[in-house]
Amino acid sequence: MKKITALLSGSFAVAGLVAQEKPNIVLIYADDIGYGDLSCYGATRVQTPNVDALANNGVRFRNAHSAAATSTPSRYGMFTGEYPWRRKGTGVAAGDAALIINPKRYTLPKMMQEAGYTTGAVGKWHLGMGAETGKQNWNERVAPGPYEIGFDYSYIMAATGDRVPCVYMENQRAVGVDPKDPIQVSYTQNFPGERTGKDNPELLTKLRPSHGHDMAVVNGISRIGFMKGGKSALWEDENIADSITVHAVRFIERNKDKPFFLYFGTNDIHVPRYPHERFRGKTDMGHRGDAIVQFDWSVGEVVRALKEAGVYDNTLIIITSDNGPVVDDGYEDEAVERLKDHKPWGPFRGGKYSTFEAGTRVPFIVHWTGNVRAGVSDALVSQIDMLATFSELVGKDISEAKLSDSQKQLSAWLGNDFQGRNYVIGAAGSLTVLTKDWKYIEPSKGNPYNAHTNTELGNNPKDQLFNMTIDRGEYDNVATKNPLMVRFLKQILEEEKAKGIGLEL
């Protein structure tokens, strides 16, 4: 008996040692995947077994938020720890936008580097590149970019799938570009002789736009922005998931012997949705559903790579999304027609672009073998806390000023604390304050409804207050009945605003 106890305590000591090694971090950042789009969050007409396996052995959050209801500001907030509404120019970035994160700024990847990690960014970037908007030479190294804000390695799509330039950038150089056919990009005017989706719809062999997206034609799909040249470097939409997943896997293989931090921003399920043929028809929901299956495949490949590299148990994996779902985001891909009873937004109101919950309440799964309390958590958590929370995880002390709006929430993220934040500020057309029980939406004169995307934007010239404990669908505005609560939440918002807009670095 004594012997067994000794043995047991011995193995615990070893387990303790293992846990003390710096864990790798893999952040899988989906694009536009909604709260209800994954089977572990209740979807039934699409199966996501690879994501679900992580959810089953990890913590699955039901009250987790992106910093905003679109991509650029959410990513800005996640990488800097600063609410994007504090900074001008953090709205959806054009494909030729300059880098929107000041290289002088402290960032999540810089913190990881200081803690001894090798850092990599693979996939969707959408934070701008270069020093000046519209002035990039896409045939040379474009800087500043991922490297200047803390990523040792990058293999990215500069903006989005629907924005030119439609090329991969590896370490900030276009991959496969032929100097005899240089890339030219403009967001103001077309290049003489270049055909567009608007004037030459017969070129749109793969997808036609439903709104916007009628400029440069690349791979039978028209985009936002004009582009000329770079033929040998152009991506094929059906191969994007393969290409970026392979590079994520390679990054893991190459760095398996030292601590690494990988940001893997998938193109799925942003428009234009054009999954590889091996995923087509995997759901009855058309490209949008099949793109979710493709996303799940990418997750499976990353998990497999971690296991094959022998680092799976010592890697903390996060799966989340940059904003809520949208069904028709500008291409005729049958997403609307085939949606039927699938609810991408889960039980919430609104969607991408919206101040209502579905704009920012996103799937959020934390998996770390043996180090999380597995199960479901209703703690209020936000991607804005990644900087502070990972600093806690890797034992890196940084000043309050550098943390900005980011809070240390490791205990909640590992499933041990069910409270999380006291409140989080959300941003879409206007600002919101969410506590565990209440949601306040600032008055806004903005459009209440986006007819193109069929989204309720949540804008209302009056105060809106919802009791989230009994009305998480935000249908019953109880602001006039609860003036004290409105005053209390407005006060929080005023105090947050008073901390500063456009703060000095």
Q: In the complex, what is the shortest distance from the CB of residue 295 to Ca ion, in angstroms, rounded to a whole number?
A: 13
By beta-carbon proximity to ligand NG6, the closer residue of 95 and 420 is 95
| Residue 272 DSSP SS3 | coil
- 23, 32, 183, 249: residue in contact with ligand NG6 (rule CB under 6 A): 32
DSSP letter (8 states) at residue 380? B
Question: 96 touches which of ligand NG6, Ca ion, none (CB within 5 to 8 A by kind)?
Answer: none
**Residue 239 to residue 245: CA distance in whole angstroms:** 10
Q: Residue 248: name the closest of 225, 232, 272, 265 by CA.
A: 265
By beta-carbon proximity to ligand NG6, the closer residue of 92 and 468 is 92
By beta-carbon proximity to ligand NG6, the closer residue of 32 and 357 is 32
Token couple for 474: 């935000």
Return all residues near 357 (Cβ < 8 A) that are at least 6 apart: 348, 349, 350, 439, 472, 474
- 211, 258, 278, 499: residue in contact with ligand NG6 (rule CB under 6 A): 211
By beta-carbon proximity to Ca ion, the closer residue of 32 and 148 is 32
- Three-state SS string over 190-254 comes to CCCCCCECCCCHHHCCCECECCCCCCEEECCEECECEEECCHHHECCHHHHHHHHHHHHHHHHHH
By beta-carbon proximity to ligand NG6, the closer residue of 65 and 126 is 126
Q: In the complex, what is the shortest distance from the CB of residue 268 to ligand NG6, in angstroms, rounded to a whole number?
A: 12
**Residue 154 to residue 247: CA distance in whole angstroms:** 9
Q: In the complex, what is the shortest distance from the CB of residue 324 to Ca ion, in angstroms, rounded to a whole number?
A: 9
By beta-carbon proximity to Ca ion, the closer residue of 123 and 229 is 123
By beta-carbon proximity to ligand NG6, the closer residue of 382 and 391 is 382
Phi and psi angles of residue 287, each rounded to the nearest 5 degrees, phi first: -60, -35
In order, the DSSP letters of 430-448 are SEEEE-SSEEEE----S-S
| Residue 374 DSSP SS3 | coil
By beta-carbon proximity to ligand NG6, the closer residue of 31 and 237 is 31
- 39, 107, 136, 160: residue in contact with ligand NG6 (rule CB under 6 A): 160
Applying CB under 6 A, does 213 fall inside the site for ligand NG6? yes
User: Per-residue x/- mask for Ca ion, residues 28 to 57, rule CB under 5 A?
Assistant: ---xx-------------------------
Applying CB under 6 A, does 71 fall inside the site for ligand NG6? yes
Question: 294 touches which of ligand NG6, Ca ion, none (CB within 5 to 8 A by kind)?
Answer: none
Among the candidate windows 309-317, 323-331, 342-350, 439-447, which touches ligand NG6 by CB under 6 A? Answer: 323-331
Token couple for 345: 């937004």
By beta-carbon proximity to ligand NG6, the closer residue of 58 and 286 is 286
- 148, 329, 385, 474: residue in contact with ligand NG6 (rule CB under 6 A): 329
By beta-carbon proximity to Ca ion, the closer residue of 126 and 228 is 126
Applying CB under 5 A, does 323 fall inside the site for Ca ion? yes
Say how many CA atoms lie within 13 Å of 143 toward its Cβ: 10
The answer to whether the beta carbons of residues 163 and 195 sit under 8 Å apart is no
User: Per-residue x/- mask for ligand NG6, residues 229 to 248, rule CB under 6 A?
Assistant: --------------------
Applying CB under 6 A, does 162 fall inside the site for ligand NG6? yes
Applying CB under 6 A, does 321 fall inside the site for ligand NG6? no
Q: In the complex, what is the shortest distance from the CB of residue 177 to ligand NG6, in angstroms, rounded to a whole number?
A: 24
Applying CB under 6 A, does 271 fall inside the site for ligand NG6? yes
Measured CA distances, 248 to 127, 268, 306, 380, 411 (Å): 19, 15, 10, 30, 28
Q: In the complex, what is the shortest distance from the CB of residue 352 to ligand NG6, in angstroms, rounded to a whole number?
A: 6
Say how many CA atoms lie within 13 Å of 171 toward its Cβ: 3
Place of tokens 């997206």: 213
What is the CA angle 316-82-435, rounded to 5? 80
**Residue 286 to residue 149: CA distance in whole angstroms:** 38
Applying CB under 6 A, does 224 fall inside the site for ligand NG6? yes
Would you tell me which residues interact with Ca ion (CB under 5 A)? 31-32, 71, 322-323
Would you tell me which residues interact with ligand NG6 (CB under 6 A)? 31-32, 70-71, 92, 126, 160, 162, 211-213, 224, 270-271, 323, 329-330
